[in-house]
Chain A
């Protein structure tokens, strides 16, 4: 029973765009029903259910694993029970925009590994690609079925203070996190069935089947009933749970490198009945470790000779080799131009405004506005080397100014984005916390977007960093039926 007070009355979105309440003058009407239901709960009920959910995640082993010298430690990704809700209209933009982006990336990769028109036309500087650590010369001229290089793409989106979704990053190699999307939903169905009742929420449970279809479409076309497997680095990989999850959802064997071998440029797996052919592989191993004969010779995780089988078209790989030259920060800055170049369309989802410092105007603008901009080195990942102007000291500003002048091509700059927030249960209180969104685009012959995606939430007050390694958690993401 309730004493009549609404749980969300005291909640203050602190002038940020809120996924539950909307922004100034733009209330989030689509979330009205859920908001009221949460409001009618008691705090103790909410806390109790959250604890149940957390314990279940642990018991079910929905964990990432940390190996220390003597212990195997299973950690859960913290789960917040207050869902993030997306209206049909917003979802339409995200869905179309993500597909458009993946289509352009695939055309770009095909072009880069064949004629290289976009480079010859100087729309994208050639050295950005040929000098890229993830560019694979071995892929030149290799035929990829349906031109689908990026079969699974995670498009990281943020929402600004006006409620506009913007692309922060593309993940075109082996994006992870989709298992949490599905498991978070299961968790909500178990712990909050009453909150979900009669709200049309688009299902996320068919991800595995959609992925299986797409990967099967990468098999040699002559094979009628292709054998698909999921290739994992093994139980020591921190994302092993996700590999297990996906293999089960797809109904395919979860293999490690040592389970496979190559004979006559064909891939086989070792079974109790001898060798069995493999036609398409959803691989969760990076390019560098895939084939010690072609890439990193030290790799024990891969399969010697597998690239040869791939290049001859005897086995499909998802994602294709060499997609990493399309998703780094330098290429990201050119993505709106890449979309226009191949599709003759404006981007449906904008980039965060990005100033390319290798270009004269971009550099001049950056130097003139250092105090207001975020400056990022293009070759780094994981947040290294980033200078946040509004929070930087005088010395840091001068230091980055010198670096920019010395090597402008190594930098891009962006305005600081005020990420949207979502009500989040923190130590028995409901407080605003910043969120992002990673929709997953699955592509074989055509593209499909999982309705929802991974909402990551920065659990520390004021933090904009949603990564699990830095205090991030996740939320269930509800895309409402139109």
Chain B
């Protein structure tokens, strides 16, 4: 059954996708910074801020502007550095600029909230990033992102653009989870580290907390904290909102909706890539994925997500000029 015959301008589809992505990315980054401050110690007991730079594959850009990966430098780089396109302040601004292009499509409440949020970000100073303040600032950012999500859920007209927005959000979620798995797993599990030591357990706690998954994990696994189970939870669990499997399933659902509900013929390439990825995921067990190599598998997932994004944009939106939706 066709539920909508109204067309959507290709450019709007692209902007909606990027709006969803940027907001999800900001929320995720705020959570990672907060968790790293409170819970993350590496095997030598010190906070490892370099790992966050690695997580986002930003080493080159970071090293160009900063000499050491200290707390102050990394936090500034990711919260306030306007020169860094993957900082929260840049991300919120990019979200706002995509929203500006989308203004005819989004609710006044969505626009107004993003506008105020962006203004709030502009008032932050390095003083707000002191260790004593960072947690509060990260909470504000997370809550603003969640407010955005709530306003959007409650007011966004459910036409095609809604589904592109959701696709962008789920792609970013999956991407963030693969990165976290990849880097943290390597970092936390050096070859000769004894698995199950007290430090180790707190590390896995923090990994779960940075995807808001600690309590969810506990519901599935009331006792113990095994690295393999944590990895499996983040990869395969179909109830956890930030698992790879659920995110991919959601993307699949949204693409189906666009094609069957709105009669769009585009998207077959993206669907094919998605099927392939989901099949690869389904073909693994917690044991086999560790055997295969978690790093290699995360890497594969990241490449697939990039290819899926490119296919969605190419097939539905033509060939957009800028790679970041701006």
Give A residues with C-beta under 8 Å from B: 59-61, 70, 72, 74, 235, 240, 244, 247-248, 253-256, 258-259, 269-274, 276
Contact = CB atoms under 8 A, between A and B. Distances in A.
A248 B110 CA distance: 15
A42 to B, nearest CB: 29
B104 A253 contact: yes
B100 A59 contact: no
Nearest to A269: B9
A273 B263 contact: yes
B100 A240 contact: yes
B101 A272 contact: no
B82 interface: yes
A270 B116 CA distance: 32
Contacts of B112: 59-61
A276 B263 CA distance: 14
Contacts of A274: 265-266
Interface string B6-17: 011111110000
Given A59-B116, A61-B115, A273-B265, A72 B10 contact: no
Given A61-B115, A72-B97, A270 B9 contact: yes
B210 interface: no
B317 interface: yes
A271 B7 CA distance: 6
Given A271-B8, A271-B9, A272-B317, 17 more contacts: A61-B103, A61-B112, A70-B82, A72-B93, A74-B115, A235-B100, A244-B103, A244-B104, A248-B104, A253-B12, A254-B103, A258-B321, A259-B11, A272-B9, A272-B10, A273-B8, A273-B263
A273 B262 contact: yes
A256 B265 CA distance: 24
Interface in B283-326: 316-318, 321
The 8 closest A-B pairs by CB, nearest first: A271-B7, A244-B103, A254-B104, A247-B104, A270-B10, A272-B316, A61-B115, A272-B8
A274 B264 CA distance: 9
B271 to A, nearest CB: 15
Contacts of A259: 9-11
A72 B98 CA distance: 13
A61 B111 contact: yes
Contact of A272 (B100, B111, B116, B266): B266
Contacts of A254: 103-104
B147 interface: no
15 contacts: A61-B115, A70-B82, A235-B97, A235-B100, A244-B103, A253-B12, A253-B104, A254-B104, A255-B9, A259-B10, A270-B10, A271-B7, A272-B13, A272-B264, A276-B7
A274 B9 CA distance: 9
Contacts of B100: 235, 240
B11 A256 contact: yes
B108 interface: yes
B305 to A, nearest CB: 21
Contacts of B116: 59
| Interface residues of B, dominant DSSP | helix
B40 interface: no
Nearest to B82: A70
Contacts of A72: 93, 97
A76 to B, nearest CB: 12
A269 B316 CA distance: 13
A255 B97 CA distance: 16
Contacts of B316: 272
* Interface size range of chain B in the complex: 20 to 34
Contacts of B264: 272-273
B254 to A, nearest CB: 13
B103 A270 contact: no
B160 interface: yes
Contacts of B258: 272
Interface string B234-264: 0000000000000000000000001000111
A359 to B, nearest CB: 49
A352 B104 CA distance: 40
Contacts of A235: 97, 100-101
Contact of B10 (A60, A61, A70, A271): A271
Interface in B188-226: none
A273 B258 CA distance: 10
Given A235-B101, A272-B264, A273-B263, A59 B9 contact: no
B9 A253 contact: yes
A269 B8 CA distance: 10
Contacts of B10: 259, 270-272
Contacts of A273: 7-8, 262-266
Contacts of A256: 11
Which of B9, B82, B321 has most A Cβ within 10 Å? B9
Nearest to B258: A272
A244 B108 CA distance: 11
B7 A272 contact: yes
B12 to A, nearest CB: 8
Nearest to A55: B116
B309 to A, nearest CB: 15
A168 to B, nearest CB: 33
Contacts of A244: 103-104
Contacts of A70: 82
Contacts of B8: 271-273
A72 B82 CA distance: 13
A256 B321 CA distance: 14
Which of A59, A240, A273 has most B Cβ within 10 Å? A273
Nearest to A271: B7
B83 to A, nearest CB: 10
Nearest to A255: B9
A269 B13 CA distance: 14
A74 B10 CA distance: 27
Interface in B101-136: 101, 103-104, 108, 111-112, 115-116
A248 B105 CA distance: 8
A271 B13 CA distance: 9
Which of B13, B103, B104, B115 has most A Cβ within 10 Å? B104
A255 B12 CA distance: 10
A235 B98 CA distance: 10
A258 B316 CA distance: 16
Contacts of B318: 270
A60 B115 CA distance: 8
A114 to B, nearest CB: 37
Contacts of B104: 244, 247-248, 253-254
Contacts of A276: 7
Contacts of B266: 272-274
Interface string B66-103: 00000000000000001000000000010001001101
Nearest to A243: B104
Contacts of A255: 9
Interface in B28-80: none
A271 B264 CA distance: 10
Contacts of A247: 104
A174 to B, nearest CB: 18
A258 B320 CA distance: 10
